[in-house]
């Protein structure tokens, strides 16, 4: 038996003898003190609770769809200019826009934007096969279109996958 295994067993035994070490929090000041001990920012605490308690909105899904919308709009602009750049270049252009930063700070006020990480994540997310179902007609409108003109599936297929 490895030394690591013994310490795990000892820890389990300690928890069984002493019970859980979860503090009993009965007022707001105690909650704030415990969150400070854990080095949890107010924004992070709110986001964690909202993810667990709020059943009306799904922040992760909304943020993903916003990034997809920015990507589609950028590809439409590239298509109008007559040249579709490599997808990684499109991702770079999107993440470096002030609009992207503003939305990132709106969804994640407690996190610092790491552009390189976001570029890689967006590029990886767009390439995933399970996400293809989200690139369908009806989810996207042309940017600035007052009449809410939908982007047809044929145009989406061309700008996203190169299918004519």
CA dihedral of 118, 122, 128, 134, whole degrees rounded to 10: 130
pTM for the model = 0.69
pLDDT tens-digit readout, 64-85: 999 999 999 999 999 999 999 9
Q: Measuring CA to CA, how many Å separate 131 from each of 33, 68, 101?
A: 41, 10, 23
Phi/psi for 152 (5° steps) reads -65, 155
For the record, the structure tokens of 81 come out as 């200019």
pLDDT tens-digit readout, 18-28: 766 667 788 88
Burial of 72 (0-12, 13-18, 19+ CB in 10 A): buried
Instruction: Break the chain into its structural domains and give their ranges.
Output: 26-56, 59-161
Per-residue confidence (pLDDT) for residue 146, from 0 to 100: 77
Highest mean pLDDT among 92-96, 128-132, 159-163: 92-96
Pick from 94, 148, 155: nearest CA to 126: 94
pLDDT tens-digit readout, 96-116: 999 999 999 888 887 899 999
């Amino acid at each position: 038996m490895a030394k690591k295994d013994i310490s795990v067993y000892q820890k389990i035994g300690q928890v069984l003898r002493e019970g859980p070490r979860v503090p009993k929090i009965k007022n707001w000041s105690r909650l704030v003190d415990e969150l400070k001990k854990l080095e949890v920012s107010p924004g992070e605490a709110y986001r964690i609770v909202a993810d667990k308690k709020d059943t009306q909105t799904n922040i992760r899904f909304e943020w993903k769809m916003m990034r997809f919308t920015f990507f589609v709009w950028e590809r439409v602009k590239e298509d109008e200019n007559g040249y579709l750049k490599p997808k990684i270049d499109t991702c770079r252009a999107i993440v470096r826009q002030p609009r992207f930063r503003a939305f990132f700070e709106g969804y994640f006020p407690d996190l610092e934007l790491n552009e390189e990480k976001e570029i890689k994540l967006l590029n990886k997310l767009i390439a995933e096969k399970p996400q293809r179902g989200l690139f369908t007609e009806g989810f996207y409108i042309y940017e600035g279109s007052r009449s809410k003109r939908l982007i047809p599936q044929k145009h989406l297929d061309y700008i996203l996958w190169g299918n004519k």
